[in-house]
Chain A
Amino acid sequence: MERLTPRVRVVWLVLALFRAVVLAGLLVGAAVALSETGLWADPPEALVPGAAALALAIGLVRLAVAWRRYAVWRFETRADSLYIERGVFTRTKTVAPYVRVQHVDSRRSPLERATGLATVVVYTAGSRSADVAIPGLTPDRAERLREELRALAIESEGEDAV
């Protein structure tokens, strides 16, 4: 079983932080707007601090999940299929047979480029194709994995699935 590059935690933490800040802005902003504009005639005193506390709590959970995700993520290229294990709360184990691979992408978001990482996305004809993406690879490994998957997919020459 192969694990991701530990650096992927940085990517996930930054994303989680960003989302937490956006959510906190919305929550606290809404609370302030409610109490300042007089839309709510007599808001309880704890409204704004409460919203801030809620936003903080959600943010902390998000960060914890982002940190923990790394420990759960595993994948393996088996003889006939790609095997993936992931999920902090809901643990998912996916098998994607090579015959079903339609095409393989490797891609790098700006954040991934900054941290020197890449994601490999495997497309099947299934309706949940986005499920099969392997993040947190070094560009080199991503390239090799893509080639490996491509070769395996060709080797197992599928009947057309659809």
Chain B
Amino acid sequence: MNRLHPLSGAATALHRGVAGGSIPFFLVSMLDGVFDAVEVGWVFFLAPVGFVVGVAYGAAYYYRFGYELAADTFDIRSGVLSRRSREIPLRRIQNVDISQGIVQRLLGVAVVRIETAGGGETEAELAFVADDEATRLQREIRRLTAEQHAEAPDARSPETDASSAADRADSTGADPDPRPTLLFDLEGRELLLLSLSSVSLSGATLLPLVFVVAGDAVVDLLVSLAEPLGGPADLDDASAPQYGLFAVVSILYGALAAYLLGAAYTFATYYDFRLGSTGDDLVYERGLLQRYSGSIPVDKIQTFSIAENPIQRAIEYAGLRIETAGHGPDGSAGSQSAVPLARRRRVEGFLERATGLETPSFTRPPTLARRRYVARYSLLAAAVVAAAFGVSRVWTIPYWYASALAFAGAPIAAHLRWRNLGYAVADDHLLVRAGFWRRRTHAIPYYRVQTVSTRRSIFQRRLGLGSVVVDTASSRTFARGTPTIHDLEVTDARAIHEETRARLEAARRSRGAEGRELSVTFS
């Protein structure tokens, strides 16, 4: 059994110690107000005791935490009082991620996360191990899994047996971890375009923090920014239109700040992004301050998806994401960027080489569907008008009926939604496209399909339409909504439903014989 890095022992002990010390502090000061028997003075005695107990617990946790990489499992024993011992079969591992914050990089430690399918969280987290140990673990897990693959499932036909024997000879004979073949390298220009074109809200979460730290200075700055445009010189003494103008200008500047922060965040996240392949795995690396590196076994990939927002569509750029059943770093459940941003044609080329999928022509749902969306968005517009009317009853709003302009937006929104819908039934994949603000095109291999459903709401039944929901095991789809082909003619919906099911059966049978269909030979 290996231990974690000694520094992590110190960190856990300190962390627990502070927690242990602060609990009596809060308890005593709270109970002091309620019960007479409790005195504030106890804190001076109890807090140090809590601190010592916390440190002891932290240290014990460190000494009682062990992990080991065995031939076919990854074992972890943890827990001070109630022990937990886990064996994770290597075959079940979805991906192995390493992340390193700035401080961690300075100290030469890293966090290793091992993901499996199922469960709501990361299966195993090693915080922290030395960074060369982290890379060693990642590499060894990859090597052992590859070996297992070569031995186990290919007993089906003599040819694959022969080839797997050759593979094995290769993997034992050659250097176990040759340098990964570089598949994609995010260039400076692409990184800049990515940062500027993707509107990320992650940066905006910093804004409230800025307000808390430097609220007065920010308000002063906003006042001085709004003043030349006709804003108030002093917030305490201004007329209503001046306040209104101040609010509008401040919101605009706030949005600008959020956008810039978001761009900076994206820049730092994808700085120096590289994707490579070694053996049967894809490996990636990225990050300016916080470094991430991960490896994804190719046969654990559930779906590929192309994502693009309107700006990126206008300049013909797109991103490619890989979805697995695991859980990714920074909360992006099981979805990793394979190509953060590149020319659309290049991205499609990538997808084609990875899956053998030529970009097919997409079919749109019938125009009848568009009519549904007009009705739907009109309802939304009606709600806006009703809200404006309601508010105008309480406060006087000039021209509240101007909100009726929202109705003009309904047909436009409906058309845009309809225009960006599409599907294609390819040989090995079902392609589903949807979304205007963030258009996603999912390429779902038939053999990854879990269940197929046709759904028809009462409105759809009236119009003779139906939607097909194709469920896979990728955990990304759980958060994003399962890939759905919306509002098809019901006969088409049934046909696709049947087709998908039949192709799943066929793909599953032939897959057994042919082995893996995905190849890592991207370039």
Binding partners A and B = yes
Which of A20-28, A41-49, A56-64, A91-99 forms contacts with chain B? A91-99
Closest to A122 in B: B451
Number of B interface residues in the complex (CB < 8 A):
37
| Residue of A80, A87, A91, A124 with most chain B CB atoms under a 10 A cut-off | A91
A1 lies within 8 A of chain B by Cβ: no
Q: Specify which chain A residues have a CB less than 8 angstroms from the CB of B478 in the assembled complex.
A: 127
**In the bound complex, how far is the Cα of B449 from the Cα of A87, in angstroms?**
22
Verify B450–A159 contact, CB threshold 8 A.
no
**Taking the complex as formed, is B482 at the interface, i.e. its CB lies under 8 A from any CB of chain A?**
yes
Majority secondary structure of chain B interface residues (helix, strand, loop or mixed): mixed
Q: Which of B479-505 contact A (CB under 8 A)?
A: 482, 497, 501, 504-505
User: Which listed residue (A87, A99, A162) contacts B94, Cβ 8 A?
Assistant: A162
Per-position binary interface string of chain B over residues 452-471, scored 1 when its CB falls under 8 Å from any chain A CB and 0 otherwise: 11111110010000000101
Q: Are A92 and B455 in contact (CB under 8 A)?
A: yes
Chain A: minimal CB distance from B478 (Å): 4
A124 to B118 Cα, complex, angstroms? 11
CB–CB A81/B501 < 8 A: yes
Please give, as numbers and ranges, the residues of chain B lying within 8 Å of A99 by CB-CB distance. 508
**Are B501 and A127 in contact, with the CB atoms below 8 A?**
no
User: Are A159 and B508 in contact, CB atoms less than 8 angstroms apart?
Assistant: yes
A160: chain B residues at CB < 8 Å are 91
Alpha-carbon separation in the docked complex, A132 to B453 (Å): 11
> Which residues of the other chain, A, contact B461 by a CB distance below 8 angstroms?
91
Residues of B within 8 A of A158 (CB): 508
B508 touches A126 (CB 8 A): no
Give chain A interface residues in 61-100, CB to chain B under 8 Å: 80-81, 87, 89-97, 99-100
CB distance from B519 to the nearest CB of A (A): 17
Interface: B325 (CB within 8 A): yes
Cα-based distance from A86 to B511 in the complex (angstroms): 33
Contact status B453-A100, CB under 8 Å:
no
Given contacts A81-B501, A125-B117, contact A93 B453 (CB under 8 A): yes
* B276: min CB distance to chain A, Å: 24
**B339 interface residue per 8 A CB criterion:** no
B475 close to A (CB within 8 Å): yes
Q: Does A143 contact B (CB under 8 A)?
A: no
User: What is the CA–CA distance of A162 and B455 in the complex, to the nearest angstrom?
Assistant: 25
Compute how far the CA of A26 lies from the CA of B73 in the bound complex, rounded to whole angstroms: 53
For chain B residues 60-106, which have a beta carbon within 8 Å of chain A?
A: 91, 94
Whether A159 lies near B511 (C-beta < 8 A) is yes
The answer to whether B504 and A97 have CB atoms under 8 Å apart is yes
User: CA A96 – CA B450 in complex, angstroms?
Assistant: 7
Chain B minimum-CB-distance residue to A87: B455
- Contact yes or no, A92 B94, CB < 8 A: no
**Is B310 among interface residues, defined by CB-CB distance under 8 A?**
no
Contact with A along B265-281 (1 / 0, CB 8 A): 00000000000000000
Q: Top 4 nearest A-B pairs by Cβ distance?
A: A126-B450, A127-B478, A126-B471, A162-B117
Chain A positions near chain B (C-beta within 8 angstroms): 80-81, 87, 89-97, 99-100, 124-129, 131-132, 158-162
> With contacts A80-B505, A97-B451, A125-B117 known, what are 15 further pairs, Cβ within 8 A?
A90-B455, A92-B456, A94-B453, A95-B497, A100-B450, A124-B473, A125-B450, A126-B450, A127-B473, A127-B474, A131-B453, A161-B448, A162-B94, A162-B325, A162-B473
